Amino acid sequence: MEALRIAQIKDDILIYLCQPDNHEEIISMAELYANLNIQDTPKVVLKGYLEEMADEALIKCWDKDCDELLIAFAEDGERLIYNGGFIKRLQDQLVIERQQEEDRQINRVKTKLEIDNLKLTKRISIIALIVSIISIALSIVFKIL
Predicted local confidence at residue 73, as pLDDT: 75
Write out pLDDT tens, residues 37-91. Answer: 887 888 888 888 888 888 988 888 887 766 677 778 788 888 888 888 899 999 9
Could you give the CA distance from residue 83 to residue 133 in angstroms, rounded to a whole number? 71
Could you give the CA distance from residue 51 to residue 62 in angstroms, rounded to a whole number? 10
Q: Locate the domains of the chain by residue range.
A: 2-83
Predicted local confidence at residue 141, as pLDDT: 86
3-class secondary structure, 16: helix
Write out pLDDT tens, residues 77-130. Answer: 888 888 888 999 999 999 999 999 999 999 999 999 999 999 999 999 999 999
Q: How far is CA 26 from CA 59, 62, 95, 138, in A?
A: 10, 10, 36, 97
Provide the residue type at 70 as one letter: L
Predicted local confidence at residue 23, as pLDDT: 66
| Beta-bridge mates of residue 71 | 27, 61
Write out pLDDT tens, residues 5-49. Answer: 889 888 888 888 887 777 677 888 888 888 888 878 888 888 888
Predicted local confidence at residue 127, as pLDDT: 96
User: What is the domain class of 2-83 according to CATH?
Assistant: mainly alpha
Predicted local confidence at residue 83, as pLDDT: 85
